[in-house]
Every structure is written in structure tokens, then in C-alpha cells.
Structure 1
């Protein structure tokens, strides 16, 4: 078989547990058929019951493994007794069965008897080396075999570790890598054939260090998680919250596997201790969030809902307390936390110095370069910075000196860095230190364009405190939000207005994109609340008017505009997407107009755009009322699409808008989309729509009042719903008269200003700012 024939279209997954079924779902999310097989239970009337049950469970799960109902239909279930011959028709077979070598090898022999030559075969094992898995297997099987270690949940975790052997067909491995990258959205990190590879080996050691050191220092779980948080770029779950999320009962199994596989003297063994408290918690059903609770739990006695934390000494629960440490609050950088005098500082240093030492020891063993190890921890454990990026931030000379004082091993690569850093910028390119002491450019995969690389070698065309404009080549510019949480404000509107003028004169197209966690969480409520508290209503009116004018100018600009959202695109962030000519969305884009939840109505053209989309929807019933009712339902309930596929169903995205599975490829895809639109581009024509008027408003209000009577809607929800109904039905318009854009924008503006002046809306603002959740008033 030639290299060009290694093309993957159909996949089979054997093993329908949480991981196996999740991998199958992600293949289906990519639009590919997948066969999901499992064993036949003894005496089962339905021989496919295990796989079918797994599929049914996934359809109801939250967070959802499937991005759409359509994806679920691409999964075919079966069993390995009756359906193994179907493997002859697939291109990639993924084994996800129990972590027992004899079970896996017995299955491999059965697979090899029915598969077609050149079919990729991989194991999702996280602990068993490849060399052991293929012992005694035929040469042709060994050539086609590799390890593809996905992370749970497979839809949301972007990392896949790839392990190949000396005899693995490189072209076949490249085909699997390309499919995992482009279709499954994975960042593929090549690891060496060592037990635990990188993620489990380093991540589990870090977690175990976190638990042991907290007990040694007498810290509370809240204190430990606060230390292992923001300053180190680690998610707010910290160590103990992460264990609760993963499941306490999983940790002993992983520990036992690594214990049997890792060589004597490995740092892992010193951290892998039997903990009576953890054993008792598991025995009592306290296995984490999936059980009765874990290190944290919710006490619901007497109708209450109080968060409690366990005492690591006594094992008793008490109300969880916020950590009030002036030193910790003042420490904004990793080294500052490690230098705190007392238990908190000793904990920070003890956990992270040992973890960083262990990470350095894995270079040349589990992986060949530092960039791979950093990528694993960023994507596998959601660290903001990888271990070697952290060492650069801390300062290698200081860290090494302290490690020697504390008798922590200093691996060779940490010795070699000396006064230098693991990463440096040379000729505009980011380079990483190699095991031999030299530096090498960090190469992006083909077809990947990152704004962070462009920013490293160029200056912005335009910039202010909340946004920047960058030249990304070929006549295309990129507009980037830079405000906190990418919240929309007056500075973004000002720079966007300037951008439109600049692109008209000098460029071909505009892409709206950023590399934040979220595209935009919506308008800056803090600024709005401040303005309202000093009765600066004119400033708020100006913000609404400027937003409407700017978005309108964007929509009718004489050049293509492509929005490229990822993560949350809410409120004003959703509205800028709605005003773009085309969208290239990351698959994990969560988009919606959520203003009603904070006591407002969309006022930057969102109501108008959604009404137009639903009236133009050929699948919707004809007439003004069905479209209006649908938009009212979505906006009044602050509906958010939970994937780009769902956003298309809700018409936040159009049928021709694109979806990119791999987050790293989003900007390149958006730029290509923009360039493809340049030749012959014509801006859209303004469109009038027909709205139901006062009679329609009455119908919508009656529906809202019904929800209020059932206790679903609060009194202020009802107030907001009435204003929304006014906008969506066209105010006092006659049902036979078309309504233009100006009229709907004016209604949006008027309703917004009436609501923003109410105390209950301002109370919701304050609640969102303080707690992240709107007040139900």
C-alpha cells in the first residue's frame, strides 16, 4: 500500500466505557462514521446491550459528549462476537479495553484475523508500554500499531499522546496524526515508549505531591488549592478540586499501574503512598463529584446548599472557608508564592520544586524536548504555563540554588540551562533549549497560524487599551479584543470604527479573532454599573448608539469580514459575530444573546439580526409570528448554543459558515475564508422584515405571564420579557407594514435604556460582577 492510500474515513472503537464511548462520540462529531463494539454479557437477550447502553447514556450526559443530535446518528453499535468482521471495512481501530496485557493481546489476535492490511490499530492505554503490547504479534500487525492516548472527556480535552515503535509505519502514523489533528481537534504530542508517557507520569506525581505536602504542612484543602491556583496558572480547582473532578477512586488504579511499571528510584514512588483518609473516603462513597462528594461536598441537609471541605487530619467536614492570607493575595507570580514565609510558602515550594525537578528528569526519557512536556501539561491539565515556562518565570538560578538547599534532585537539563532560559526569541522566532544545550526553533504544524507568533515579530497597526489590529499577511488584518475577559466596551467600538476606515483604504479583508479563553463574554457590566451609579445615563446612551452604528458599519463595509470565535461568544460578542459576512467558528464555540439574564435586551442589533435570520429560514413556518416567537423564546431564556453545530441549528451561525475542529488552526482557516471572498465581494443589502405588531406583543406577554405563574420566571424576568416583546414585534407597527432596520434599532435602544435605569437590573449587574451569576430577582 502506498503512502497516499493511508486515508482515514471510518473508525472502530472497541470498548464502550467512558473513554471508549467518548472517543467514538468525538469521531462522530467530526462527521465520520464510527463502529462502537463491546463484549456480550453472559445470558444477555440483547447482545449489543453494553454498547447500546453507552450510546444512550451519552445522549443524555452533561457535559454532552456529542456536539449535535446528528453526530449521534453516525455511531453504529455492536459486539465483538457477532460484528468483529465489520472491522474489515474501517481504516482505524482504537482499542479501549481494560488495562490488562493478556486481555489486550487476545483481542489483538482476533482483530488481526479480520482487518484489512494497512488498517491503523492503536491502544488508548495510559500505562502499558508499546513494546509489551506487541510482543509475539505478527510483523505486519507491529508495523500498523501505535498508542493514541486520549484524555477524558475526549470531546473537550485537546491533548492526544502518540507513541510509536521502531517498526511502526511512519506514513500510517502520520495519517493518524493528521486525522486526530484536523478532524478530532487534538494537539498530538509525540512521547517515547515509557510507562505513563508524560501526562500521567508527571501529572499524577504533581497531584500526589500536592496531597502529601498539604498533610505535612497541616494546611486545609482550601489553603492548598488557593496556593496551587492563579499565581502558577493552574485552574481554580487546584489539587483537591481536581481530584474531586477526576474521581478519588481512579487515583489508586493509576498509581498501582505506574508503581508496577516505573523503575526503582523514580520520584513517583516517593509520592505514591497509601493514605488511610483517602481509602476511607472511597469506601464511604466519597469519590468526588460523581459520588457523595470528595475533599469538597455540598451539604443539602434541611434544604440548604452549603459547600463544605474535609479536614485532612480528622476527616470531618465543616463549612468551606475562603482563604484570607495577605501574603498570598499580594503574591502574583510563582516565585513570590514560593518565597512566602511559613506553611503556605513551604507548600508552594515543596510541591512545585519537586514537580519541576521531575519534569526536567523526563527530558530525553518520556519525551525528547521541553516544548512537548509543556504542551502536555497545558492541554492535559489546563495549566496556563508548562513546567519549563514556569522555571523561566521563577528563574532557573534561584530555583536550582533552593533545590540544592532542600536536597531536591537537579537533573542535567536544569544544570545545563545555567543563567539562560529554556525559551528565547531569536530573529523573531521562539526557540526551545535542547538536551545538548543548543536552541532550536519551535515549528508549528503545517497550516497553523497563531496570532501570538505575529505579535512577537510585529507592531500593531492600531491599538488602545481594549483592542489591537494586526497585519496577518496577504492583505488581511486581524482585529483582537484585549480587554479583561474580552468584554466589549467603548474603546473596542472606537478602534473597530478606525479599523473599518483603515481596511477600506489599504487592505482586502478583516478577521475578528483572539487567542483568549473566550472570544468575548459580552459588554463590560462593571463600566455600565459605574456609569449608572453616578447617573451618567448619557454615557450609557452613547455606548449603545456607538455600538449600533459601528456594528452596522461593519455589516455593510465594502470588504469581507470573517468572525472567528472560540469559547464563549455572548451578548455583544455574539452580536459582532451576527454582523460579520461569514463565520469560521471553533467547534467549541458557545454562542448566545444572554442580555435578558442580566435584566437587559440585546441593543447592538442582535434582535434585528436574529429576527431576519429566522424569517429567512426556509425550514421555519411562514409568516411574522413563528419567527418572532422563536426568537423571543431563545432570547428571553438566554439560550446559549453548546457547540458550533448547535449554534447552526439555532441560526447564530449560517448554513455556509465554517467550523474548525482544532483551535490552533482557527486563524488560518478564517484568513483563508476571508481571502476566498475578496474577488467580486459585494456587501449585503439592507432588508426590511414584517413583524406582528401589538397583537403579537400581547401573545408573547401572555406566554411570559404563564411562566411567571408557574414560578419559572421571576417578576423582573416578566418586566424584561415585556420590553423584549416590544422590540421583537415592532412596537406599534401594523402587521402589513414592513419594518426597516432603523426602527428595530431604535426600539432596542429605548427598551435597553428603560431597563438599565431599573434597580433590579442594576442588582443583577452587581450580582454578576461579584459572583459570576445573575440574581434571580
Structure 2
């Protein structure tokens, strides 16, 4: 099997540059080439400019700015020699088959033998691309279709041709999975492959039905988002996100390449409104606006939405349809509702599901690949066949028949097979209805360990409504949070505390992990608000002590504790990771101590742990003040890393902590890390540090007061920062004294409780709970 140690990307547009950045994120050197612009003084301007743009994009394309140094830029006239030692060449140029073929002929003359060449095309079949190419080129060629932005969208569609060598396919599958962190889905060589074939049909159908029915775009996006398990952008919001000007190109390609009898042709319709919007620059978020736009009105920012009937903008309004509320938790209730929203949702959902069901075997061999592609490529919570299961295959078939519509053969078969669903659980194993008949296990890549599979196959070791302990094999126990947003409450702390005793009783190690979108958003501040409103200060003090003691017990347990976060790990969720022996983080982990946003300071040892780390940081200047100032800046500004790699800069992750690119592999890697640490494990020694005391506190407070005078800090920011400064400077200590960890956590606890007694902090907590946004008071 070919090892991929160096890559080249041809084409420095949005997709090409994004692919190059993500390959660099994986730590792999990459060459980025583009054409020489006419009359350009800098012949590498396009590639160099793309890298600079990638360093500034939001959200960030590079997981760490240093990754940009792995990208070597050049041009296709002068620098083809840079391709001589690359293992994989990715073509990401304009969607023109003749241009691509000419490029391939050039590449074939300079690439090294056996190097893999792939296209990032989203619409052109592989067979068309390799026409006229050498036999060796065809053997090394395939399609690797990334989704935009490449760093964040997990789907990688893989398409092989009849002459593509099997080991090239396996090399790309493994590299995409392990190194790039992608969910790799094998697709047939058909127009649009899987995700765009279905997604384009879905959006086209949704738009046409909305225009025909005169629905507001706000209603459409409310109906076709959360109730269906689709991101809150819905349909029109999604088009704004990807760019309205892209839609005609996608449509033209689909019309040109789809079979004449494909249902897409029947629903496609040109729109004069869309043409007018594009011509006037209303192409979405990248333009002056799109279906939604923001504008200033007397110093006030307002959001407007376009009226599909008139083509004019008006104030955005909240849709008032009973079907939206009815379908909040029940898809069948949504599409069965008798109002115009329910009728619309049924029309769009049913035609998309029928279309998809007819394509099984054509675009992919089996239904799991199609569902996976839509989950990873379009961020759907449920794939199309999972949606049919939510409706009930029998119910779905019966309604189609009642309306005189054709029922796809695969739906008819599943509806009548006795189970009535595309998926079932058999002896703890998830199985799917196969085209060959009967059920088969849903494929799981080698080396993947999923907590959901563990939970289906066995009973939990212990737990309550907030957290559970699971045996994940080989003597390793897993602590899982399952509160709303995985906030940490007394129930979580109770099971975390019990875990130390249970592991001692017959296990080797503990992993802290869950499969939710976010590891933990922090403590349950609603409980703190309730307790403060009834002046239950002893209760609050007890909860802070409970958290401190629980985290301390995890830190000094006589066995390895490995944290395995993904997504947000904020506040108390970050603090529990700071107390672990090691962290195996997903690459997209966003860590930080953000308590100042709700008017308090970290209370479960976060200040203490960061102080110790920065004091012991060999790269810091001498004396305690630089470390204190660094932690103060991080915590007072609620600094959150924008990747696991950035968390290293903040010392939220240590040099020995590890990063996993693929979300599905985090648990297996964390378990392996824990077992690796078992032999000869010794718990850490208690830390002792010296802090500068009141003199440092005065200096920190003066800095904050300066920000306040400049209008950069609010009055309550000054109060909260003052409490934080007291903690981080060590209270009334001086530099000649040695402080233990318990001394600092006592200061944390005192500061936390005192701030909860201020009306401004309670206002911040209440505002956060109501709006999800911080209050600047």
C-alpha cells in the first residue's frame, strides 16, 4: 500500500486552498500550485494569496497558524518539478472536463510512478475525466470529493473507476479516515455522487414548492430544519451560506449529466428572481446579502428577508404555523398536520425520500452509505432512510398509495418484511435492510470503538439521570455525561466520585468521554441561579466543594484517568480535563475557562491547574508574575481555543496530550492511551507554588481599570476581574510563602460564592439561560 507523506493540490481556489490547508492540519507537507495570472509581477500570486486568505478566514481553515508553513506555493509554469516526489496529487480546478484532461496529461508526464491522482469534482463522472489518458494514469486515478469547508465537513466521497487499482483506493480510504479525520463513503460513478445528488434535489424541490405555495422563506426554514433534523439554516439559509451564484452552475451540471428520466428534470425550474438577485450582487453571505440580509437603520441593525412573490425585502418575521410546534419532536406529526406548513413539509419530504429510495443500488450499494453521506455532507441528523423509519415505512407506503403515488420497491419490501424498518437492533448489533434481502450488520471501520455500540450490548456499571459508567473492555471504565449540553450538575459529580471507587474495585483505568456534539458546556448555572435566589449559600458552597473534591480525587486516583473531549469543553468541562493524567482530544476541541461570561470565576480547580502549568512552563520568563498575568488574561477574556492544537498554546493541553483527527476514533485512542499508562503508573505529586499576593493584584486591577476607562470593560467586568485577580495572585500571601493546591481552591470557592451574591452576576446568569448569549453589564 502506498504511504502518503507528501501531497500536491492543483488549483488554489476556495476548495483547493481549503483542501491544502486541511492536509497541512494533518501534519503532511503539501504543494499548492495554480496558473500564472496575466501580467502578474508575482508569478505565484494566486497560491500565495490563497494561503494568506486561509490564515484570515473565519471559521479558520488552519487548525494552527504554524500549519501554513507546511504549504509550499508555486505555479504550473515554473514549478512542476515540485510534483516529482509527491505521493498524491489532488486536482481542484474549474469544472471543465477539457481543462481537466489537459492538466492530467501534463501531470502524467511529471509525476512519480505509482503516485495517486484524484479530482475533487462534484459533478463530472470519472469515466469522462480519464478519456484519452494512459493506462498507468487510469490505474492511479480516482475521485476524492471533499465538502466545503474541508476542515469542518466530515464527508469524503470516494469514487473509483473500473481500472483504478485496489490498493490506491485503500490507501486513500485509510489516509482520509486516519489522517484527515473524514468519514469516507464509497460512491458509484454517477452525477452528483451521493450527497449532492440528493441534496440538490432536496433544495430544488423545497424552493419550487415554496414559490408555488407562496410561503415565507422564514416558514420554510423553520419547517425544514429542526423538525426534520436538519441544521437551523434550513433551505434558504443554506443557499445563502453556500452562495446563490453557485446554484445555476450546479443545476446546469445536473441537467447535463443526469439521465433523461431522472426526477430532477421534472422539478427543476429557472427563476427570474434568482437571476435578478445574482445580477445585483445578492449572492448570499459572501455578497450584499441573499434571501436574508442585515442592514443598518438609524444605528440599529435589522435583519430582512426577501418576499418570494414580490422580490422585495421586508423585515424578518417569526413564522406562526401550528405545524412547526406540532413537529418539534415528531416528524410524522409535522407532515400530517393539516395547515399549509404540514402540507408543504409532506410535499418536500416525501418527494425527496421517494427520489432517494429509487437510487439505492445506483448511487451506492446499500442504504447505510447514503444515510452516512447526508449526515456528514449536509449535517443532517438523520439520513433519508432513518427519516423513513421515523415516519414508519408502512405508514409512508400507505400514504403514498392513498395519494395514488408510486411506492419505491425497496420501501414496499421493507414495509412488508415483518420488521417494517430499514434499521433494527439484533442482539446489540445495528443491522440494515440489504438489497440482497434480509438484514446485515452496519459496517464499522476497523479500530473504531463507539460508546453507542457498547451501550446497546451491555448494562451500565453504575449511573443516574446525569451520568453513567460503562465497561468498554480490557479493564477500562468510561464515564459518560448525558445531561442537556452535558452540563455538569451534582448527579454528574456523584457518578464521577463513585467512579474512583469502582475502578479501584476491579478495573485498570478510567476514560471520560461521550458521543454528544459537545463534551461539556460547563456547570449547570441554572442550579446556581436557583440557589442564589433563595439565598442557599451553604448549598452553593457545598456544590463548589463537591466539584473540587471530585476533581481532586480523579487527579490523585491510583490509576490512569484519560479525558477524551470533542466539540466544546468549557468551564467545568474544561476543568475536569485539566485534572486528567492525559487527554486524547479530537482535533476539533474548543477548550476554555469561560466563567466570567456569567459573572463568576472558575471554581473547580481551573485557576489552580492553569497557574501550576504556567508556573512550570519552561518557556515563560522568570518569576511568578508572567504566569499570573498570562492566566489572568486567558480567564478574564474567556479565551477559548479554536482547535485542540491551539489548546496546546494555552497549556490547556500539555505536550504529552494527544490529538485524534477522526471523531469516530477518539474513544478507541483514549482507551489505548489509558492502557498504555497502566504499567508502572504513579499518581502525580501534589503541586506547591509561590504567588506574589497583593502587589500583583493591584497591578492586575489597574490594567482592568484602564480597559474600563477605554470602554473595553464593563463595570461588572471590573468586579469579576478583581475577584479573579485575588485568586490568581494568591490572596493575602506573599512571594516568600508556599501555597498548596487546597489554598488556591479555597480562594476560588470564596470568590465564586461572593460573586453569586451580586445582582449583576445573577443578571448575567439569567440572561445566558434565556438567550444563550453573555450580558455585557
TM over 0.5: yes
- Residue 378 (structure 2) aligns with: 381
Q: 1:12-27 maps to which residues of 2 (within 5 A)?
A: 12-27=8-23
> Following superposition of structure 1 onto structure 2, how do residues 43-82 of structure 1 map, counting pairs within 5 Å?
43-82=39-78
The 1:200–1:327 alpha-carbon spacing in structure 2 relative to 1, beyond 3 Å, is: closer
- The offset of 1:325, in angstroms, is 3.4
Asked if structure 2 preserves the Cα contact closer than 8 Å seen for 1:357 and 1:408, the reply is no
Cα distance in 1 for partners of 2:558, 2:267 equals 62
- Identify which of 331, 335, 339 aligns with 1:338: 335
Q: Distance in 1 between matches of 2:638 and 2:772?
A: 15
CA distance in 1, matches of 2:272, 2:526: 47
Greater displacement, 759-768 / 73-82: 759-768
Give secondary structure in 1 for the equivalent of 2:612.
helix
Match of 1:668 in 2: 668
Name the SS for the 2:774 alignment partner: coil
Would the aligned equivalents of 1:11 and 1:33 in 2 still touch at CA under 8 Å?
Answer: yes
Counterparts of 1:598 and 1:706 in 2: how far apart (Å)?
A: 22
| Structure 1 residue ranges without an equivalent (≥5) | none
Determine which of 236, 249, 252 is the counterpart of 1:253. 249
- Residue matched to 1:773: 773
Match of 2:109 among 108, 113, 122: 113
The structural deviation recorded for 1:22 is 0.4
**Cα displacement (A) at 1:531:** 2.2
- How many residue pairs are counted as aligned between the two chains? 773
Give a deviation string over 1:205-251, Cα, whole Å, max 9, x none: 11111111122222211111111122211111111111111111111
CA–CA distance in structure 2, aligned partners of residues 193 and 295 of structure 1 = 34
- From 392, 407, 412, the counterpart of 2:409: 412
Distance 1:565 1:403 in 2: 44
Tell me the equivalent position of 2:560.
560
Deviation at 1:532, TM superposition (A): 2.0
Residue number in structure 1 paired with 2:579: 579
Deviations 1:722-750 (A, max 9, x none): 00000000000011111111111110001
| In structure 2, C-alpha distance between the alignment counterparts of 1:524 and 1:281, rounded to whole Å | 45
Whether 1:199 aligns to 2:195 is yes
Query: What SS does the aligned partner of 1:300 have?
Result: strand
Asked whether 1:292 is paired with 2:270, we answer: no
| 8 Å Cα contact 2:227/2:324 also seen in 1 | no
How many Å apart are 1:289 and its aligned residue?
A: 1.0
> C-alpha distance in 2, partners of 1:478/1:301?
53
What is the Cα deviation at residue 527 of structure 1?
A: 2.1
Q: Is the 8 A contact 1:19 1:154 kept in 2?
A: yes
- In the aligned structure 2, how far is the partner of 1:269 from the partner of 1:563? 51
Match of 1:473 in 2: 473
Q: For each residue in 1:301-354, what CA deviation from the matched residue of structure 2 results, as whole angstroms up to 9, or x when unmatched?
A: 321111221111112222222233344223321111001112110111011111
How big is the shift at 1:408? 4.2
Contact 2:566 2:588 in 1 (8 A): yes
SS of structure 1 residue aligned to 2:625: helix
Distance 1:408 1:53, change over 3 A: farther
Give the match for residue 371 of structure 1.
368
**Deviations along 1:436-487, whole A, 9 cap, x unmatched?**
3221111211110000111111111111111111000000011000000101
Post-superposition CA distance 1:370-428 (Å, at most 9, x none): 00000011011111111101101100111112223345442221121124210111222
Task: Give distance in 2, aligned partners of 1:680 and 1:113.
Answer: 55
Residue 354 of structure 2 corresponds to residue 357 of structure 1: yes
> SS at 1:580's partner residue?
coil
Equivalent in the alignment of 1:550: 550
Partner-residue secondary structure (3-state), 1:107: helix
How far off is 1:41 after superposition? Answer: 1.1
3-state secondary structure, aligned to 1:507: coil
- Written as runs of structure 1 = structure 2, the 5 A alignment for 1:572-611 is 572-611=572-611
Change (3 A) 1:547 1:620: same
Say if 2:729 is the partner of 1:704. Answer: no
Asked if the contact 2:323/2:342 (under 8 Å) is kept, the reply is no
TM-score by length of 2: 0.98
Contact 2:321 2:339 in 1 (8 A): no
1:99-138 → structure 2 map (5 Å cutoff): 99-138=95-134
Q: After superposition, what is the alpha-carbon deviation per residue over 1:117-155, rounded to whole angstroms, capped at 9, x for unaligned?
A: 110000000000001101111100000000000000000
Residue 241 of structure 1, aligned match among 237, 244, 249 = 237
Question: Whole-Å Cα distance in 1 between the matches of residues 415 and 445 of structure 2?
Answer: 30
The 1-side partners of 2:400 and 2:367 are apart by: 20
Distance in structure 1 (CA, Å) of the matches to 2:442 and 2:341: 36
Question: What is the CA deviation profile of residues 663-703 of structure 1, one whole-angstrom value per residue up to 9, with x for unaligned ones?
Answer: 00000000000000000101101111111100000000011
SS in structure 1 opposite 2:235?
Answer: helix
Structure 2 CA distance for aligned equivalents of residues 658 and 271 of structure 1: 49
Structure 1 segment 435-474 matched on structure 2, within 5 A: 435-474=435-474
CA distance in 2, matches of 1:264, 1:168: 28
Q: Deviations over 1:698-732 (max 9, x none)?
A: 00001111111111110111110000000000000
1:242-271 per-position Cα deviation (integer Å, ceiling 9, x unaligned): 111111111111111111000112111123
SS of match in other structure, 2:557: coil
Q: Is the 8 A contact 1:354 1:408 kept in 2?
A: no
SS at structure 1 position matched to 2:124: coil
Q: Distance in 2 between matches of 1:406 and 1:266?
A: 21
* Counterpart contact for 1:148–1:163, Cα < 8 Å: yes
Aligned match of 1:36: 32
Q: What's the CA shift for 1:189?
A: 0.1
Q: Which residue of 2 aligns with 1:403?
A: 400
Matched, 1:145 2:141: yes
- Over aligned residue pairs, what C-alpha RMSD do you find? 1.0
Equivalent residue number for residue 688 of structure 2: 688
Residue of structure 1 equivalent to 2:211: 215
Secondary structure at the aligned position of 1:305 is classed as strand
Uncovered stretches (5+) of structure 2, i.e. residues with no partner? none
Identify the residue that residue 170 of structure 2 maps to in structure 1: 174
Give the conservation status (yes or no) of the 8 Å contact 2:323–2:339.
no
CA contact (8 A) 1:429 1:441 kept: yes
3-state SS, counterpart of residue 84 of structure 2? helix
Deviations 1:257-305 (A, max 9, x none): 1110001121111232111122111112111111111111112232111
User: Aligned residue for 1:715?
Assistant: 715
- 1:255 and 1:408 map into 2 onto residues whose CA distance is 26
Measured in 2, the distance between the counterparts of 1:527 and 1:278 equals 49
Deviation (angstroms), 1:524: 1.2
Q: CA deviation at 1:535?
A: 2.4
Cα distance between partner residues in 2 of 1:116 and 1:275: 48
2:656 is aligned with 1:656: yes
Q: Does the CA contact (< 8 Å) of 1:466 and 1:482 recur in 2?
A: yes
SS in 2 for 1:89: coil
Secondary structure of 1:318's partner? strand
Deviates more, 1:191-200 or 1:288-297: 288-297
In the TM superposition, structure 1's runs of 4+ consecutive aligned residues that sit over 3 Å from their partners are 324-327, 405-409
Q: What is the alpha-carbon distance in structure 2 between the residues aligned to residue 28 and residue 408 of structure 1? A: 50
Q: Counterpart of 1:506 in 2: which secondary structure?
A: coil
**TM-score, normalised by the number of residues in structure 1:** 0.98
CA distance in 2, matches of 1:330, 1:390: 17
The residue that corresponds to 2:753 in the other structure is: 753
For 1:494 and 1:73, the matched residues in 2 are separated by 46
Aligned to 1:532: 532
Partner of residue 394 from structure 1, selected from 366, 372, 391: 391
Query: Could you tell me how far 1:622 is from its partner in structure 2?
Result: 1.5
Q: Distance in 2 between matches of 1:545 and 1:655?
A: 30
- The answer to whether the 8 Å contact 2:509/2:678 transfers is yes
